[in-house]
């Protein structure tokens, strides 16, 4: 099994700081392409497919410690000793866990619309839709979309999922994310492994105003693990804040990173 993750590397200059990008559940590194483009003129960037997503290794188990170790091995492979880490949603959870485990590697942490807490399950309808797509009985993405629509009424959610549907050389259709493992370990993915660790480096939590993932009720947990954290709200944005309000999101990140020089 590979001990590192698939990544797209943009190296501007050997002396430029590194920015690591980690997408969310059911996604891939393309989800954060707008961030990559914006910061590629000032930062070296490693845009990563999470485990069980995109072109990264497919597992038969799950733990944030395991994912954190895979991220560590990936940075080592690319000779990255210190970096800024930006993660959205599930990628934000991994970013937080990595900062807690390896604080000396993380020069600064940006967490997009997620908190260090155990969340109630909220993707059962998505899993039900994915499981009921008859991959052997479709000839195009529109066929899968019709089947997904029975369970997922939101067209935007379906289009997001369908970005990970691909056809192999033998013309069979597959999901790029590891459906079986994500379902089997979904409770652990929603969970947050409690510890006495803290990350005292500069940290920015960015919340979508209309999202219920990162709320005031989680402030104590945030400060418990990340005592130097600050928060910013992107007005008019939901959970997909970087896609819905890219200019405002990138400005927030840019302001934070400029303060770390």
* C-beta pairs of 116-124 under 8 Å, 24+ apart in sequence: 116/192, 116/218, 116/221, 116/222, 116/224, 116/225, 116/226, 117/192, 117/218, 117/221, 118/190, 118/191, 118/192, 119/190, 119/213, 120/190, 121/186, 121/187, 121/190, 123/25, 123/186
What residue ranges do the domains of the chain occupy? Answer: 7-117+192-258, 124-184
pLDDT 10s digits, 220-252: 999 999 999 999 999 999 999 999 999 999 999
pLDDT 10s digits, 172-213: 999 999 999 999 999 999 999 999 999 999 999 999 999 999
- Which helix (DSSP H) or strand (DSSP E) does residue 121 occupy? none
Half-sphere exposure of 216 (CA within 13 A, CB side): 0
Q: Quick check: 8 pLDDT over 80?
A: yes
> What is 7-117+192-258's CATH number, 3.40.190.10, 3.30.450.20, 3.40.50.1370, 3.40.50.1820?
3.40.50.1820
User: Which is more confidently placed, 4 or 191?
Assistant: 191
Instruction: Give the chain's end-to-end CA distance (angstroms, integer).
Output: 38
Active site residue 89: yes
Instruction: Quote the percentage of the chain above a pLDDT of 90.
Output: 96
Q: Quick check: 261 pLDDT over 80?
A: no
Q: Quick check: 1 pLDDT over 80?
A: no
Quote the pLDDT of residue 3: 81
pLDDT 10s digits, 110-155: 999 999 999 999 999 999 999 999 999 999 999 999 999 999 999 9
Averaged confidence pLDDT in the chain? 96
Quote the pLDDT of residue 2: 63
When pLDDT is averaged across residues 64-86 and rounded to a whole number, the result is: 97
Q: Quick check: 106 pLDDT over 80?
A: yes
Q: Quick check: 82 pLDDT over 70?
A: yes
Catalytic-labelled residue, pool 6, 88, 185, 239: 239
Catalytic-labelled residue, pool 89, 164, 211, 229: 89
């Amino acid at each position: 099994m590979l001990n590192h993750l698939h990544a797209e590397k943009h190296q501007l200059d050997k002396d430029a700081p590194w920015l690591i990008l980690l997408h969310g559940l059911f996604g891939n590194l393309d989800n954060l392409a707008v961030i990559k483009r914006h910061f590629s003129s000032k930062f070296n960037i490693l845009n990563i497919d999470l485990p069980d997503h995109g072109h990264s290794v497919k597992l038969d188990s799950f733990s944030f410690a395991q994912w954190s170790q895979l991220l560590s091995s990936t940075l080592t492979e690319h000779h990255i000793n210190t970096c800024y880490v930006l993660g959205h949603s599930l990628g934000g959870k991994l970013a937080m866990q990595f900062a807690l485990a390896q604080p000396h590697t993380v020069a600064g942490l940006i967490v997009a619309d997620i908190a260090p807490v155990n969340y109630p399950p909220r993707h059962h309808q998505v899993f039900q839709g994915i499981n009921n797509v008859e991959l052997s009985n479709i000839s195009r993405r529109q066929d899968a979309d019709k089947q997904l629509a029975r369970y997922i009424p939101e067209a935007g959610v379906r289009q997001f999922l369908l970005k990970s549907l691909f056809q192999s050389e033998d013309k069979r259709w597959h999901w790029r994310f590891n459906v079986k493992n994500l379902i089997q370990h979904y409770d652990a993915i929603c969970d947050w492994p409690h510890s006495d660790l803290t990350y005292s480096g500069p940290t920015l939590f960015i919340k979508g105003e209309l999202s219920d993932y990162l709320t005031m009720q989680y402030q104590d947990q945030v400060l418990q693990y990340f005592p130097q954290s600050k928060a910013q709200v992107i007005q008019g944005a939901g959970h997909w804040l970087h896609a819905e309000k890219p200019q405002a999101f990138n400005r927030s990140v840019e302001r934070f990173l400029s303060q770390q020089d």
